[in-house]
Structure formats: structure tokens, C-alpha cells
Amino acid sequence: MNILLIAGGWSAERDVSLRGAEQIEAALRRLGHKVRRFDPEAGLEGLFAAAQGHDFAFLNLHGSPGEDGLIQAMLETIPLPYQGARPHGSLLALDKAAAKAMYVQAGLTTPAWELLPAPHSTSWRPRLPYPLVLKPNRGGSSIGVVFVHNEKELLRALADPTLACLDLVAEVCIHGQELTCGVLEGYTLPPILIRPKAGKFFDYTSKYVPGASEEICPAPIGGSLTAQIHDMAAAAHRALGLADYSRSDFILDETGRLWLLETNTLPGMTATSLLPQEAQAVGLSFEDLLEELIRLGLRKTH
């Protein structure tokens, strides 16, 4: 099969996307596929020419463009099949405030939040109690995440020029154990318990520096809690209208209550990333997982 591997882009997660694409390309070639790369940074108008002669587009984009549904919408006009969520589901999941509204509508427990659009008013104060977590409303890899414990820290964060032009979500800070759980169309995968070795949470360093966190799969949390995570991950997948696969992130607080944080429509895809680890736990190698995602993606053309 001729596969167009789309990776790169211009979000803050560009380097993560490109590193993952290297492993995906090598695995696809081992499977006998012919692979050509396309980087949206070179110009979106080049996508149509790049797609010619290809049977499938494999997406490994993080942030915008890619997880916002833009590339997916363009591929559907060609049409060229691809794996993962369609444009509307991609947009809902990437926008944290919209996704959380969908979770609440579906009866899923998520930390209380407020949306702070840019530009930020100097008079804005949260209605929620401290401590809070400030996050870019659209984005991932924990880039730009700030913990604030009082008004002084809030004002310092809002004065940060890297956050000034971004819509932000202020979310009640939930302390506890971090867990993640993937959905592969039709069934849920074993959850992973994440224990960062440094820092307060699963930040950018913990995610991408080898050895910076302990990731235990399957999570040693018991059958009842595992079933609850499975149910919530599957419900989030349905509530956002996703397809093929996704990965939802959770916090288990000190009282044993499970909180849904966000859902990723294009999870990290190196051989040791979280969702491939979960797939490995049920007997799917990295190559098997890629082949399954291609199979699922091709269904969207029928």
C-alpha cells in the first residue's frame, strides 16, 4: 500500500510529531508499505499534490493543525482515507472547554473549570477556589500548564508572554494518581498507572525523557476500578463522536474518585508511547497496531 505519512506541522508539539513519525515510517516499511512524508509546515496547499497516488494517509500530528480536524477535513475532500477521528470529533476533543462540556452532558465526572479567552482581562479573577491548574485550551503534551495557588501566582502566570495570546482553561486542581486508558474501536485497552519520578505531574519532561516516569501496564488498581476506567474512556470516546481509537487521561483522587481530564484523538505513537504499551499488553505489537489502525481508517471510505 502507498501511505502518505503526515507529520510535523507548526504547533509547539512539532518535534514530538516528527520523532514519532520516524518510528511509524520504519514500522510501515517493515510491513511492506511504501511511505512518503508530508509536513504541513511546507504549506497546506501541497497536501493535494502529495496525496496523489496514495491509498491511505497516516496522521501523526499533535496540536493544531492535525488534532483540530483541519487536515482531516482536507483529506475528506480528496478523498483519501485516514485513521482516527473525523473533523467534528477532532475539534471537540482538542478544545478542552468544549470537551469538558460534552463530558458533563454525558454524565462523566470532570474537574470544574472556567474558560478565559484571550486577550486576558487584568480584572479577571476565578470563581473557583485555589489551587487551580491553568492550561492552554487547545494543545497537548502538558506544554504551558501552570499550577497557581493564590492571586499573586495567577497574575504572574497571566503576565507570561507565552500564555498571553492563548485561550486558557482554569481547572480545579485534583491531587492523586494519574492514569490513562486507550480505546481501540470495539474494546478498551488495559489502563496505565503513571508515576512521574520528578515534578508534580506528568509534564513534558516526564512524557518524553526516557526514564523520567514509571508507567505500569496494566495498572495495579483492581478489577472494579479498571472496569470504571474502561466505562469512562469508552463513554468519552462516544460523547465526542470519535472513531477508530483514542486515549483518555484520568486522576484518581485520595478518596478513590475518578476524574476525567481530557481525551486524545491522535495519541503518541512511538513503540514505547502509552497507547502502544496498552496494545502490547493485549498481544498487539507496534506493527500490529499500525495495521489495525489502517484497517479501521479504511472503513471510513465504505
In sequence order, what DSSP letters do the residues of 93-106 get, joined into one string? HHBHHHHHHHHHHT
- Where do the domains of the chain lie, and which CATH numbers do they carry? 2-83 (3.40.50.20), 92-109+175-294 (3.30.470.20), 113-172 (3.30.1490.20)
Tell how far CA 170 is from the center of its chain: 19
The pLDDT assigned to 161 comes to: 86
Identity of the highest mean pLDDT range in 166-170, 246-250, 296-300: 246-250
Average pLDDT over residues 237-259: 97
Q: Is the pLDDT of residue 43 over 70?
A: yes
Which residue would you say has higher pLDDT here, 56 or 209?
56
Nearest by Cα to 262 from 247, 283, 279: 247
Give the strands of the sheet with 56-60, arranged side by side. 34-38, 2-7, 56-60
Q: Is the pLDDT of residue 300 over 80?
A: no
Give every CB contact of residue 37 below 8 A, 6+ residues apart in sequence.
4, 5, 6, 7, 21, 25
Which residue would you say has higher pLDDT here, 231 or 141?
231
Nearest by Cα to 76 from 89, 64, 62, 93: 89
The pLDDT assigned to 203 comes to: 45
Q: Is the pLDDT of residue 288 over 50?
A: yes
Nearest by Cα to 82 from 61, 102, 63, 110: 61
The rounded distance, in Å, linking the Cα atoms of 66 and 91 is 10
Which residue would you say has higher pLDDT here, 142 or 92?
92
The pLDDT assigned to 119 comes to: 86
Q: Is the pLDDT of residue 24 over 50?
A: yes
Q: Is the pLDDT of residue 202 over 90?
A: no
Nearest by Cα to 69 from 51, 86, 82: 86
pLDDT band per the 50, 70, 90 thresholds, residue 208: very low
How confident is the prediction for the chain on average, in pLDDT?
92
The rounded distance, in Å, linking the Cα atoms of 192 and 51 is 36
**Is the pTM for the entire model greater than 0.75?**
yes
The rounded distance, in Å, linking the Cα atoms of 207 and 12 is 15
DSSP H helical ranges for 42-183:
46-51, 70-77, 87-94, 96-105, 151-158, 161-164
Average pLDDT over residues 185-206: 74
The pLDDT assigned to 163 comes to: 86
Tens digits of residue pLDDT in 116-128: 998 888 788 999 9
The pLDDT assigned to 162 comes to: 85
The pLDDT assigned to 229 comes to: 98
Q: Which three cell numbers stand for residue 41?
A: 509546515
The pLDDT assigned to 129 comes to: 95
Strand-pairing partners, residue 171, are: 113, 133
Q: What is the CA radius of gyration of the chain?
A: 19
Report yes or no: 44 and 78 within 8 Å, Cβ to Cβ: no
Three-state secondary structure call for residue 170:
strand
